[in-house]
Structure 1
Amino acid sequence: MPRITQISRRVESLDRARTFWRDRLEIPELYSFPGLAFFDLGGTRLMLKETGTRDQADILYLATSDIHADHARLAERGAVMTGAPHIIHRHADGSEEWMAFFEDDEGRPLALHAVIASL
């Protein structure tokens, strides 16, 4: 099965969204065109398309190796954190799935996601 190469997300304001993804989340911006901006999510492109309206969106889960540090860093940068890092599931091998939720610049959900190996 092929991997996902691009995700499209509609935004009300492209300028505001670019600032959020580039400056608050520190996601590398690849390029932009009138009404569109592209970011590199670890090899998957995120395409932001300006629509002038706020749309509902599915949650994007962003991988992190240190969920507590990244949660604190995002909060310091002004991201609206809606949930502290917490365990979602413990696997049979003892590894744990952790998540922490926050909002994008339009109030839509995003999440940090970490898999922590057993000690």
Structure 2
Amino acid sequence: MRLVQVAQHADDLERAAAFYSALLGSEPTAVFDPPGLLFFDLGGVRLLLDRNAPTAVHYLYVDDLAAAIERIGDRAEVIGPPHRIFTHEDSTLGPAGHDEWQAFVRDSEGNTVGLVSFRAVA
């Protein structure tokens, strides 16, 4: 079994497309409007922005938290600045010997998005 798609609520597909294009550094892979569906490819998993989906929190890996936040600029509100969550002692949840850092932003549609990055322990 593998994850195929994650859905997130979006009222305005054009605004959501601008936000996620800036965050992900890529354009949508498909738009079907009507009925109000916008897709992005996240390494083989579809991110669906859907007018009828409920809100959810999804976490996206980024190489650099500060750069990701800078890319989205004023399209989002930072609601949790970058901070260290914990150190990965083994590779169960992430790369061993790395700190996991996260930041939280409110996307253009009012949803919370977690941004995750790993830094080698010095």
Contact 1:24/1:78 (CA < 8 Å) preserved in 2? Answer: no
Contact 2:37/2:49 (CA < 8 Å) preserved in 1? Answer: yes
Paired letter, 1:14: L
Report the count of equivalent residues. Answer: 114
CA-based RMSD of the aligned residues comes to 2.1
In structure 2, list runs of 5 or more residues that go unmatched. 90-95
Residue by residue, what CA displacement relative to the aligned partner does 1:53-103 show, whole Å, maximum 9, x if unpaired?
Answer: xx75221111011122222332x3532111211000123354101000001
- TM-score normalised by length of structure 1: 0.80
Paired letter, 2:29: L
The whole-number CA distance in structure 2 between the counterparts of 1:86 and 1:47 is 28
The match for 1:115 is: 118
The alignment-based identity, stated in percent, is 35
- TM-score normalised by length of structure 2: 0.78
Q: CA deviation at 1:28?
A: 3.0
**1:95 to 2:63 alignment:** no
In structure 1, list runs of 5 or more residues that go unmatched. none
The match for 1:62 is: 60
Contact 1:71/1:85 (CA < 8 Å) preserved in 2? Answer: no
The match for 1:9 is: 8
